[in-house]
Amino acid sequence: MKTDPSVARLRFGRFELDEGEARLTCDGEAVALAPKPFAVLCALARTPGRLMTKNALLDLVWGHRFVTESVIKTAISELRAALDDDPKQPRYIETVSRRGYRFMAAAIGASSQSAPAVEWNVAAARGHPASAALAALCRGDAALAGLIRAVAATLEREPLVLN
């Protein structure tokens, strides 16, 4: 069965998100989350490390119908409570003042507990000389960019040895 790349399915920290199954778990236990905050999390998780504007979130989650930006703030507050994420020192959701939000943790496909998970710190990667090259290479494919960054970070810590 072919998986849909536009559907978020990943692990980050102690959490596992499966958009297709409408499930968020923490250490294997279900996390109660209302449909709109869950949809916001999925929208953000599909583009890790990239700014999601308020208008884009309104369009994706609410269809930009009869709502104000306050619904986003409410959904983000519920998400932060569920993820135990501090807005002043965020681990998962960064607020970009007056513009939108960014999902800060990138992960590699996580269909099981044994699947590898990689956490990526967006702020640390911004100054890296290869960031611009990666962005151009991936042409906006955030999942591919996250995977390349994860491999690069691993190689920086553990040099590749070829026999």
Say if residues 8 and 111 touch (Cβ distance below 8 Å).
no
Token duo for residue 9: 């399915």
Find the mean pLDDT for residues 116-128. Answer: 42
Q: Beta strand 100-103 with 23-26: parallel, antiparallel or unpaired?
A: unpaired
Return the exposure string of 97-116: e unless at least 16 CB atoms fall within 10 Å of the residue's CB, then b: eeebbbbbbbbeebeeeeee
- CA gap 50, 41 in Å, rounded: 13
Q: What is the pTM of this model?
A: 0.64
Is residue 11 within a helix (H) or strand (E), and if so which, with residue range? Answer: strand 9-12
36-88, pLDDT tens digit by residue?
Answer: 999 999 999 988 899 999 999 999 999 877 888 999 999 999 999 999 999 99
Residue 130: band (very low, low, confident or very high) from pLDDT cuts 50, 70, 90: low
